[in-house]
Amino acid sequence: MLKRRRYLMCPPTYFAVEYSINPWMDPAAPVDVDRAVEQWTALRTTYERLGHTVEVIEPVPGLPDMVFAANGATVVDGTVLGAQFRHPQRAPEAPAYLAWFARNGFVTHEAKAVNEGEGDLLVAGDFILAGTGPRTEPAGARQAQEVLGRPVVTLRLVDPRYYHLDTALAVLDSGNVAYYPQAFSRGSQQVLRRLYPDAVLAGAADAAALGLNAVSDGHRVVLPVQATRFAERLAARGYEPVPVDVSELHKAGGGPKCCTLEVRES
């Protein structure tokens, strides 16, 4: 369903690649923070041009990955489940995001097990698809079902490059998704085929461009400009690809969706 979305984003003011917690991150490779800020600003402007509302959380010095707002929480019907990060480097982001939601009048719940927010918990119509393995634990996915009140379908991620569900799968609308099959275990691939026989599949090159790290409003799909073949496939299926360049953030293993936390009100 096409509707105005409300997004929370965090500017990459303190963005850096200082540690490596996924295979894309090379602390020896230079990062251009000004360029990251420009690319992030263009992403924000793109959402606004599409008619969506963007709110901004204050970045915290010393938290270089805080730009990846998707990991900050999961919000369904105005209820907020906070995150708990697997790696200590990102742990302080969880209370920072939860405090933003509390200040803005939301009912908040603290995470009791590892869950990396919308990086791994994707709302797909009536259910939540949960990526487990590299980051989110099965217990974190179970808590999401309890707190958010939607059935959770867990999918096991098996390729370290696709360490969050949102690097391997994008929700296109309430009834369909796009994904890169090889990122999932055999059983999870079967589950996806059963749930989404008409899914849009991405190939290896588009997956490596983090093309699946896309944000759809049900029709317009904001995705990395480098994922050209995937954009063509989306267009052929009636979606409107909206390419953006977030190449600096790719150095940390991120794309447009990582920078975007959807705030779903009741």
200: which strand partners? 178
When binding is defined by CB under 6 A, the residue of 119, 131, 211, 256 that contacts ligand ARG is 119
Whole-Å CA distances, 24 to 125, 198, 238, 240: 31, 30, 32, 28
10 is a site residue for ligand ARG (CB under 6 A): no
70 is a site residue for ligand ARG (CB under 6 A): yes
258 is a site residue for ligand ARG (CB under 6 A): yes
206 is a site residue for ligand ARG (CB under 6 A): no
93 is a site residue for ligand ARG (CB under 6 A): no
Q: Max alpha carbon distance in the chain (Å)?
A: 45
CB of 235 to ligand ARG, least distance (A): 24
User: Under a CB-based contact definition with an 8 Å cutoff, are residues 33 and 16 in contact?
Assistant: yes
11 is a site residue for ligand ARG (CB under 6 A): no
Binding mask 167-186 for ligand ARG (x = CB under 6 A): x-------------------
Residue with tokens 């409300």, as numbered in its chain: 6
Determine whether 164 is an active site residue: yes
Catalytic option among 109, 250, 258, 259:
258
68 is a site residue for ligand ARG (CB under 6 A): yes
Determine whether 258 is an active site residue: yes
9 is a site residue for ligand ARG (CB under 6 A): no
Q: Which is nearer to ligand ARG, 101 or 163 (CB)?
A: 163
Name every residue whose Cβ is closer than 8 Å to that of residue 149 and which is 6 or more positions away in sequence.
Answer: 76, 77, 79
21 is a site residue for ligand ARG (CB under 6 A): yes
**From CA 243, how far away is CA 214, in angstroms rounded?**
9
CB of 80 to ligand ARG, least distance (A): 17
User: Under a CB-based contact definition with an 8 Å cutoff, are residues 257 and 214 in contact?
Assistant: yes
**From CA 128, how far away is CA 132, in angstroms rounded?**
12
| DSSP letter assigned to residue 83 | P
Q: Tell me which residues are annotated as active site.
A: 164, 258
